[in-house]
């Protein structure tokens, strides 16, 4: 149980989430990738707090911020999915390419 | 010793189930794999002594994943996983990017000379967190509050099918509402 082990697990979660967010065609699965990335950030924040600065509360506050960011990401993401599905019956990322340069 | 064993079990579970999210054949299973991954991270958060935050994350994630499962049934193909599912694009490029990210992060983690543990934890961590959020970190808390409120407004606007501007025009001055089906008492 060392800082490095914690951070390696967090980095693995972050990378897996990044892979999922980049590869998934379904918008819901893409959001799962984003959630997994934030999951890694939570773990890293907890590890940094415990192993480097347990006297302060900044690590805990950072976890609160990340958890809130997760909730916002889910809510806003599903609202966008609903709106885009209603407008164009799109549920795959490849269908929503209007902004492609 | 026990905490070391717990750490490795939970860390491996978090990563393995995180990976399974994108391997299983059904989105419902993917959701629950993600939930298990989250709960494993909750276990790790509890392991470092953050009891309150661990419980908050656990409660939030369980509800969040159940909501996700509902959306999955609404929008997605193959929710039950009765047939093989492959919904990838640009797998190779993404694998390179994700692998590269992990390599860079791991190199940083292993090469940086981390400072020693400074100070001791407060006796009551939950109390310390509450005091920080209501004191020194008040600005953070207020920003979170405003952001959450903006999210509520934005999600309602996005999820509304036909709002008043659709019914009564951009200036809200139409004499009769433009509804697909008439209703009311014939006025």
B167 lies in which domain range?
A: 124-172
Residue B100 has pLDDT above 90, yes or no: yes
Task: Specify the 3-state DSSP secondary structure of A63.
Answer: helix
- Cβ partners under 8 Å of residue B171, min gap 6: none
A56-70, pLDDT tens digit by residue?
Answer: 889 999 999 999 999
A67-94, pLDDT tens digit by residue?
Answer: 999 999 999 988 988 888 888 888 778 8
When pLDDT is averaged across residues B112-118 and rounded to a whole number, the result is 88
Q: Is residue A16 part of a domain?
A: yes
Residue A42 pLDDT: 95
Q: Is residue B72 part of a domain?
A: yes
Chain-chain contact of A35 with B144 (C-beta, under 8 angstroms): no
Nearest-by-CA chain B residue for A16: B19
Instruction: State the total domains in chain A.
Output: 1
Q: Cβ-count burial of A4 within 10 angstroms (0-12 exposed, 13-18 middle, 19+ buried)?
A: middle
The residue from B80, B111, B144 where one domain ends is B80
Residue B101 pLDDT: 96
Residues B76 and B144 in one domain: no
Per the model's pLDDT, the better-predicted residue between B97 and B163 turns out to be B97
Instruction: State the total domains in chain B.
Output: 2
A33 lies in which domain range?
A: 3-92
A29-50, pLDDT tens digit by residue?
Answer: 888 899 999 999 999 999 999 9
Per the model's pLDDT, the better-predicted residue between A75 and B119 turns out to be A75
Residue B91 pLDDT: 86
Q: Is residue A74 part of a domain?
A: yes
Residue A82 belongs to a domain with what CATH number?
1.10.287.3510
Q: Which of A44, A36, A18, A19 is nearest to B114 (CA)?
A: A44
Residue B26 has pLDDT above 90, yes or no: no
The residue from B80, B114, B139 where one domain ends is B80
B54-88, pLDDT tens digit by residue?
Answer: 999 999 999 988 888 887 777 766 656 566 666 78
Check CB contact of A52 with chain B, cutoff 8 Å.
Answer: yes
Residues A25, A31, A37: CA angle, nearest 5 degrees: 115
Residues B181, B185, B187: CA angle, nearest 5 degrees: 85
- Report the residue from A4, A24, A50 with minimal CB separation from B49: A50
Cα–Cα distance between B106 and B119 in angstroms, integer? 26
Q: Is residue A31 part of a domain?
A: yes
B129-144, pLDDT tens digit by residue?
Answer: 999 999 999 999 999 9
Q: Is residue B101 part of a domain?
A: no
Residue A14 pLDDT: 96
Chain B residues close to A23, C-beta within 8 Å: 22, 88-91, 94-95
Q: Is residue B105 part of a domain?
A: no
Q: Is residue B23 part of a domain?
A: yes
Question: What are the φ/ψ torsions at residue A24 (nearest 5 degrees)?
Answer: -70, 140
The residue from B47, B63, B80 where one domain ends is B80
Check CB contact of A2 with chain B, cutoff 8 Å.
Answer: no
Taking all residues of chain B, what is their mean pLDDT, rounded to a whole number? 87
When pLDDT is averaged across residues B11-35 and rounded to a whole number, the result is 89
Residue A43 token pair: 């773990």
Nearest-by-CA chain A residue for B65: A32
């Amino acid at each position: 149980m060392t800082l490095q082990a914690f951070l390696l697990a967090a980095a693995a979660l972050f990378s897996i989430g990044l892979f999922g967010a980049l590869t998934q065609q379904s918008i819901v699965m893409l959001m799962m990738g984003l959630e997994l990335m934030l999951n890694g950030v939570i773990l890293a924040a907890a590890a940094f707090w415990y192993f480097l600065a347990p006297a302060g509360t900044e690590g805990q506050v950072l976890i609160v911020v990340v958890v809130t960011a997760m909730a916002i990401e889910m809510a806003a993401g599903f609202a966008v999915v609903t709106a885009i599905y209603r407008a164009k019956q799109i549920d795959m990322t490849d269908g929503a390419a209007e902004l492609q340069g | 010793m026990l905490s070391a064993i717990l750490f490795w079990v939970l860390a491996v579970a978090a990563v393995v189930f995180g990976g399974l999210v994108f391997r299983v054949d059904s989105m419902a299973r993917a959701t629950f794999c993600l939930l298990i991954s989250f709960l494993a991270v909750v276990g790790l958060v509890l392991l470092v002594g953050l009891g309150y935050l661990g419980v908050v994350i656990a409660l939030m994630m369980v509800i969040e994943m159940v909501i996700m499962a509902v959306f999955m049934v609404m929008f997605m193909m193959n929710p039950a996983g009765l047939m093989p599912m492959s919904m990838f694009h640009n797998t190779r490029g993404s694998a390179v990017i994700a692998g590269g990210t992990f390599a860079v992060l791991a190199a940083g983690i292993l090469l940086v000379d981390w400072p020693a543990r400074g100070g001791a934890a407060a006796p009551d961590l939950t109390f310390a967190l509450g005091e920080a959020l209501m004191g020194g970190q008040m600005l953070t808390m207020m920003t979170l509050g405003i952001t959450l409120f903006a999210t509520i407004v934005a999600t309602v606007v996005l999820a509304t099918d036909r709002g008043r501007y659709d019914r009564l025009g951009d200036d809200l001055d139409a004499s009769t509402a433009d509804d697909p089906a008439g209703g009311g008492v014939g006025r």
